[in-house]
Amino acid sequence: MTREHMIDQLGSYTKEWDICIIGGGATGLGTAIDAASRGYKTLLVEQCDFAKGTSSRSTKLVHGGVRYLQQGNIKLVTEALKERGLLRQNAPHLVKNQSFIVPNYKWWEGPFYGIGLKIYDWMAGSLGLGPSRLLDKEETLALAPTLDGEGLRGGVLYHDGQFDDARLAINLAATAAQQGGVLLNYMAVTGLLKTNGRLKGVQAKDALTGKGYEIKAKVVINATGVFSDAILKMDEPGHESIIAPSQGIHLVFDKSFLPGSAAVLVPHTDDGRVLFAVPWHNKIIAGTTDTPVSPKDNASLLEPRAMEEEITFVLQTIGKYLTKDPGRADIKSVFAGLRPLVKGNAKNTAALSRDHHIEISDAGLVTITGGKWTTYRKMAEDVVNIAAKQAGLAEKASVTEQLKIHGWKQGVDFTTDTYYYGSDEAGINALIHDAPRLAKRIHPQLPYSAATIVWAVQHEMCMTVEDALSRRTRALLLDARAAIEAAPAVAALMAGEMHKDEAWMKEQVNAFTLLAQQYLPADIH
C-alpha cells in the first residue's frame, strides 16, 4: 500500500466512483472496507493522516460499554458486545482480552456491580471473553497491588476487549485496499460537485503537492466525525450544526502506578462518569473526561488541547484509588479527543440506529456520525446499505462479519513489542534480517525498532514524522518527551526511504516537536 500507487489509481482506475467516502477515521475506513468488499468502486479521501482525528484518541477499549448498561441502553450494549466478539475474531492480533477490576469500598457495591456484570456476561453470550466474578479483598489486591487497601471490601472482576486504535485504522486501510478500494491520506475535500442540485462528486486538494482534483462519484458519504458540519455546510450553506463535540482526555503514566495485568474501573466519579486506568503497551492510560467544547476552526478540531481542569480531575480521581498518587511530573503524555455527539435537533434522519446517526440531504449527501470505535463495522454496513440504494447500485449484501482484517494471525504472543503487527511481523523481521542495523531502537525508552519506521514508509502510507511517531508507532502517546528526542532519528530514516533532503528533515522535526510539546502539561515541557 503506497500513496504513489493510490494517486495513480485515482487518475486511471475509473471515471466515476460508485462510492466516495470523506474521512479516514474508524467510520470512513470501515465504510471503505464494507463498500469495496461488496464489489463497489470505492474511494476514500482523508484530509490529514488516517485516524488523525478522534480515532487515535480513544480509551482503546473494544467494549459493550458498562456505562451504557448502567444507563439501561440494552440495545446498544448488545450490539457492541456482538461487534466486540466479531472484531476479536477478525483481528485477533489487535484485540486483547483485558481483565478489569471494579474496586468495592461500600457494602452494596459488590452485589450491585456483581449482578450488573453478570448481565453483561450473559448479553455477550457465546462471544463472551470470560465470566465475571466477585473477589475478596486479598484477591483484589493480588491482581491490583497498588489499589488503596484502606476501606477496601473486595472487587468485581470482569472482561472486555482492548486494542490499539490507530494500528487498527492502518490495518483497516490495508484491508480496504486489498478489497480493491483506493484510499488517500493528505487529500482534503474542499468542495462538492453538483449538477442540477444533485451531488455528483467532490473537489479535493492534495495537501502534500497542492494539486487539485475533481472526483466524480455516484454517491458521497460524509464520515468526518466532528468535522461533519463543515461538509454539511458545503452542501447546504444554511445547514444547522448537528454535532456537539465533547472532549475526553487521557493521561499516560509509568506502569509502576498499576503493575500487574488488570485494569481498574472506577464506577462513579464526582461528575457521575466512569474512569478507567488501563495497562497499554507497558504504560497506564487513565481517563476520561466529558467536557462540552466549541472548537473554532479545523486546526483545533484536529488537535484538541487538554484543559488544566481536566488534567487535575483525572489526577485527583485516579489518585484517590491508588497507593501512590501520580503527580503532574509523572505524566508521560496527555492526549485529548473529541466525541462526535449528535445534537437532538438533527433532521432528515434516515436511520437513528442505536447511537449512530445517518442522514441524507436533498442533494443526496449521505452523512454518518456518532457511534463508537467498537461498532464501526455495523455503522459501515448500515451506511453502505443506504448509500448503495441512494446511488442506484446493484444490491449486494455486506460480507464484513466474516472478513479478516489485514494482519490477521492466530496465537499471537501479546507479550512481545510487535504483536500488533500480526502477520506483518514477519515482514519487519525480514527487514532486520537484510539490514541488521534496523534492529536498533529509535529511542532507549521506546519499544520501536528502526525497522518499524522503514516498514511504515514502505507499506503503511506513512508520510510525516508525526504519522510515524503518533499513529504507525504510538510513541507520542506513550512518552511525548522520548518521542521528541526520537524525532531526528526517525526523520533521517524516513528521508532515506523517501529521498528527502536535510530541509525536509528539519521542517519535519520542528513541526513534530511543536506538536508533541502540547502532549505534555504546560509546566513540565
Ligand X SMILES: Cc1cc2nc3c(=O)[nH]c(=O)nc-3n(C[C@H](O)[C@H](O)[C@H](O)COP(=O)(O)OP(=O)(O)OC[C@H]3O[C@@H](n4cnc5c(N)ncnc54)[C@H](O)[C@@H]3O)c2cc1C
| DSSP code for 471 | I
Among 374, 385, 390, 473, binds ligand X (CB under 6 A): 374
Residue 54 binds ligand X, judged by CB under 6 A = yes
Which string of x and - marks every residue 251-290 that binds ligand X (by CB under 6 A)?
-------------------------------------x--
Residue 171 binds ligand X, judged by CB under 6 A = no
How far are the Cα atoms of 137, 160, 218, 420 from residue 163, in angstroms, in the given order?
29, 10, 35, 9
- Three-state DSSP state, 364: coil
C-alpha cell at 500: 528527502
Residue 205 binds ligand X, judged by CB under 6 A = no
Among 6, 7, 36, 45, binds ligand X (CB under 6 A): 45
Stretch that binds ligand X, among 21-29, 66-74, 91-99, 139-147 (CB under 6 A): 21-29
Kindly tell me which of 443 and 474 has the beta carbon lying closer to ligand X. 474
How far are the Cα atoms of 155, 201, 435 from residue 51, in angstroms, in the given order?
35, 23, 30
At residue 486's C-alpha, the angle toward residues 482 and 489, to 5°, is 170
Residue count at the site for ligand X (CB under 6 A)? 39
Q: Are 228 and 383 in contact (CB under 8 A)?
A: no
* CB-based closest residue to ligand X: 25
Least distance to ligand X, CB of residue 523, Å: 23
Residue 179 binds ligand X, judged by CB under 6 A = no
> Where would I find the H helices in 60-161?
66-70, 74-90, 109-124, 137-143
Which string of x and - marks every residue 212-251 that binds ligand X (by CB under 6 A)?
-----------xxxxx--------------------x---
Least distance to ligand X, CB of residue 4, Å: 19
Kindly tell me which of 110 and 521 has the beta carbon lying closer to ligand X. 521
Count of C-beta atoms within a 10 Å radius of residue 468: 31
Q: What is the CA radius of gyration of the chain?
A: 23
List Cβ neighbours of 115 (8 Å cut-off, separation of 6 or more). Answer: none
* Distance, CA of 217 to CA of 43 (rounded, Å): 9
Count of C-beta atoms within a 10 Å radius of residue 267: 18
Stretch that binds ligand X, among 128-136, 213-221, 371-379, 468-476 (CB under 6 A): 371-379
* Distance, CA of 377 to CA of 79 (rounded, Å): 11
Kindly tell me which of 81 and 468 has the beta carbon lying closer to ligand X. 81
Least distance to ligand X, CB of residue 410, Å: 23
Binding region for ligand X (CB under 6 A): 22-28, 45-48, 52-55, 57-61, 63, 188-189, 223-227, 248, 288, 337-340, 369, 371-374
